[in-house]
Amino acid sequence: MNEMPGRLSSFNSVPAAGAGMQREPQQTQPASQPAPAPQPEADHADDEAADLARQPIGVVLDVAGSGSQVALDLERLNECMDHDDPSIALAGQVGSQIKIRTRDGWLLASVRNQKQDRRGAGNSVVANIDFMGEGMEERLTGKIHSFRRGVTRYPIPGALVYPATTEDLRQIYSSDGRSAIQIGTVYPTSDIRAGMYIDAMLGKHFALLGSTGTGKSTSAALILHRICEAAPQGHVLMIDPHGEYSAAFKNYGMIFDVSNLQMPYWLMNFEEHCEVLLKSSGNDLQNDKDILAKCLLAARSKNRLAQSMGKITVDSPIPYLLSDLTNFVQDEMGKLDKATNTAPYMRIKTKIEELKADPRYQFMFSGMLVGDTMGDFLSKIFRMPGGGKPISIVDVSGVPSDITSTVVAVLSRLVFDFAIWGRNEKTHPILLVCEEAHRYVPSEKNADGNSVGRVLSVSYTHLTLPTSDLV
């Protein structure tokens, strides 16, 4: 235990701490300037460069579950900056990867942020790091192998920090043979393929996060392109609030917007009907809801399908005529005693008439849509059969803003319901991609008027059912 403070206090000159390491005794200072190295001995210069990578750049200060703090030696970071290996040259900087020696291998971590270390003489910086995973060390060569995500054994404060080399990154990011898509190269190297295991990725929810302009949409388009190439028979539904994806998916996808979406209003469940039709609040809202529930159920029950099904609810996606709904509201109003207030009935009736008449709402509230069946709509929107276009882009930029969230809710719910109700059938998994998902996520903060930070601007993807069918 006494050893640790000693090490920490001697950290301000990490190279000296490094001198304690087995590989490079006392060569740190001269090695920092390769310029004086004699010309003919190129090999010697190479050795020096390699040794530079084998010396520590810092020490672990603080260890916690999610991440830790390390102190990095500025002099060593500057030495590394001239290194030919881009990964070593970037060592210690924000976004770079570093490795920490553990008893029988290496822990890999990435640097999250840096700040000046005010305790010492100003020659070190303190950085927060996030652990990525761990690997074993090959005895003879010192290379990392068997890298895997997660940490089983944390380092102890005082453990030494080293730059991760391109060779290390190659080991870490090498594919293990599962089906993967390539999306680029691992920064800062230029030749290590950055891949994603599609089955693993699509098997759970995933999000692309980044502040504005960092390339989220571009990455989402790239990933979807790769997925479509790998699984042309797949089913992807993307909700595109700004109409920015149609150009990217002209060949791979069907583009739906207000001109051809034709989303039947009767697909909405009761809650969604309330969102669209009822604008009152408090007691009035409850009153309106009761009336709407009664009339909606009556209108849906008129359908022959409903009669053959027996028991239906207000939420059942059974086509009904908007005129039936207004007629039932009218009838209910007629049954009132004179003293009772007719305002709620009038409110609902007026709103329905408004939606029917407004051309902006025609993609959803057109009388023509009653003839469609749910199956028609699902096969169109979920690309079943896909006809070589596995992705449908629903461009909601032209949808009137007061019902945008309802349209998105209906589409998302359909994906979910389809997966739940089709559980026992041989159905296909559907990937739902939602650009700027935070717009549709109810947030307490939003209600207060504080905006959700743009950092949350995400491409939210949601996949239902196991994915092995998709790829």
Q: Quick check: 217 binds Mg ion (CB under 5 A)?
A: yes
Q: Closest separation between CB of residue 434 and ligand ATP, Å?
A: 13
Q: Closest separation between CB of residue 458 and ligand ATP, Å?
A: 9
Q: Quick check: 210 binds ligand ATP (CB under 6 A)?
A: yes
Q: If binding means CB under 6 A, how many residues of this protein chain bind ligand ATP? A: 9
**Are 53 and 83 within 8 A, CB to CB?**
yes
Site for ligand ATP in 428-467 (CB under 6 A): 457
Pick the binder of ligand ATP from 39, 212, 283, 424 (CB under 6 A).
212
Pick one of Mg ion, ligand ATP, none as the site partner of residue 467 (Cβ within 5 to 8 A by kind).
Answer: none
Q: Quick check: 213 binds ligand ATP (CB under 6 A)?
A: yes
Q: Using alpha carbons, list the distances in angstroms from residue 319 to 100, 292, 298, 314, 340.
A: 63, 16, 12, 11, 31
Pick one of Mg ion, ligand ATP, none as the site partner of residue 232 (Cβ within 5 to 8 A by kind).
Answer: none
Q: Closest separation between CB of residue 199 and ligand ATP, Å?
A: 25
Task: Give the separation between CA 309 and CA 311, rounded to whole angstroms.
Answer: 6
| Residue 419, token pair as written in the block | 């997966």
Instruction: Give the x-and-dash track for 214-233 against ligand ATP (CB under 6 A).
Output: xxxxx---------------
Q: Which of 381, 430, 372, 400 is nearest to 227 (CA)?
A: 430
Q: Which is nearer to ligand ATP, 263 or 393 (CB)?
A: 393
Task: Give the separation between CA 461 and CA 204, rounded to whole angstroms.
Answer: 9
Q: Using alpha carbons, list the distances in angstroms from residue 322 to 206, 301, 304, 406.
A: 39, 13, 16, 18
Q: Closest separation between CB of residue 217 and Mg ion, Å?
A: 3
CA angle 214, 220, 224 (to 5 degrees): 160
Which 8-state DSSP code applies to residue 452? P
Strands 459-463 and 206-208, how do they pair?
antiparallel
- Choices 64-72, 215-223, 294-302, 356-364; region in contact with Mg ion by CB under 5 A: 215-223
Amino acid at 87: S
Pick one of ligand ATP, Mg ion, none as the site partner of residue 215 (Cβ within 5 to 8 A by kind).
Answer: ligand ATP
- Choices 186-194, 209-217, 247-255, 275-283; region in contact with Mg ion by CB under 5 A: 209-217
Binding site for ligand ATP (CB under 6 A): 210, 212-218, 457
